Amino acid sequence: MTATTKTSYHHGDLRAALLSTAMTMLERGEPFSIRAVAREAGVSPTAPYRHFPDREALESALAARGLRDLKADLSRDRALPNTIDELADLGVGYVEFALRRPALFRLMFGNECDHASEERVQAAAAVHELLAEAITRVFPHSDPLDLALGGWGLVHGLAYLYLDRKLTGPSIEDVAAQVRSSFIAVLTAQRSG
């Protein structure tokens, strides 16, 4: 960040300021350490340690924020689904989030979950609950956990295939159409034989 755009932290919520700074650095593709985040936020090199004992704790807090953002994206402007098509829209939303915020998505899912971070555990549980509730509404007589896990595996795999450029689409609309049709095909496939 240039001297003209850098802002110094003076008061208020230090933890939030550090997270915001770290998120900006992450999404710009800059490697960050606790010291780099402190420098960018305009605080002393030791100030972040009051909130984050190490980089892993900072990354876990960023992952929790990302999970909350993901849940908000999946919930925004839509009711819980009643049809497979509407359920597929959640899958599309998941992949679109990954493509819009790839560095955060990779941070959220690229490392082992920090089960000692209550914040991260609660944020992940909220996403899982949303998916299980959505599955239950569309498939009331099935095991929502198994279907939610299968649906998540499908869209998560598609998200990484697009992120890693193993699959490509000329536009986000084409990607959305492919994710939607794949999701619907899997959930409506009948056993043959």
Q: What's the angle, vertex CA 123, arms to CA 93 and CA 23, rounded to 5?
A: 75
SS3 content of the chain, % helix, strand, coil (to 5): 70, 0, 30
Which DSSP helix (H) or strand (E) runs through 59? helix 55-75
pLDDT tens readout for residues 109-143: 987 877 888 999 999 999 999 998 999 999 998 88
**What is the SS3 assignment for 52?**
coil
Assess contact for 95 and 159: CB atoms under 8 A: yes
Q: Residue ranges of the chain with pLDDT lower than 50?
A: 1-6, 9, 193
154-175 pLDDT, tens digit per residue, is: 999 999 999 999 999 889 999 9
Give the model's pLDDT for residue 149.
Answer: 87
Domain residue limits, the chain: 14-50, 55-188
Is residue 98 within 8 A of residue 22, CB to CB? The reply is no
Q: Tell the residue number behind the tokens 């009331």, with chain if given.
A: 140
Instruction: Please state, as a whole number, how many other Cβ atoms lie within 10 Å of the Cβ of residue 27.
Output: 14
Domain 55-188: CATH architecture, name and number where available: Orthogonal Bundle (1.10)
Q: Token pair for residue 85?
A: 């098509």
pLDDT attached to residue 178: 95
